[in-house]
Amino acid sequence: MPLVLGAKSGGVLHWYVDASFAIHHNMRSHSGEALTLGHGFPISSSAKQVLNTCSSTESELVGVDDMMSLIIWSRNFLIAQGYVVIDNILHQDNKSAILLEQNGKMSSGKRSMHIAIRYFFVTDRVKAGKISPKWCPTGKMIADFLKKPLQGAMFHKFRDLLMGVVPTVSKNNIPVQ
């Protein structure tokens, strides 16, 4: 099956980042991340996280932080090539992680006070308008394909989206799925 790529998103980068909490033998989490410009995914990765986390929300934050350099680089690269980047959307399925990314320490409570300040770098990028976190239902989270084994219809659906067999963004720049 060939990889088909196309830029149909009108200057909007769609990042999908997700994490599976404590699934490895040493209780580390696993992250999956992917970028689309509307048709296919030119950038995707799947990796075990380099540190242990205490919750699924924290593992989501670690996954986003691990990808933040690539998210910023790809935006800056496209701008340097003369493309207009209107928005850099970060799709996630964990609402608590989105609140922490948007509000930083103001959204943290007793269970998240231990999170290292380096993970609030994402909050700085959100406030600077460089990235926009958006909630994506788990059933539409394309990064699931990169972090856990899928079967049947979900496997075929996400494989076809990642390979560009079907477009990921409609003409109105709304994620298809």
* Domains annotated on the chain, with CATH: 6-163 (3.30.420.10)
Q: Average model confidence (pLDDT) for the chain?
A: 84
- Give the Cα separation of 100 and 105 in Å (integer): 7
CA atoms within 13 A on the CB side of 101: 31
Grade residue 152 by pLDDT with cuts at 50, 70 and 90.
Answer: confident
Whole-number pLDDT of residue 154? 82
CA 135 to each of CA 92, 98, 99, 114, 139: distance values in angstroms, whole numbers, following the listed order: 5, 7, 10, 24, 12
Whole-number pLDDT of residue 151? 84
Paired residues of 6 in beta bridges: 39
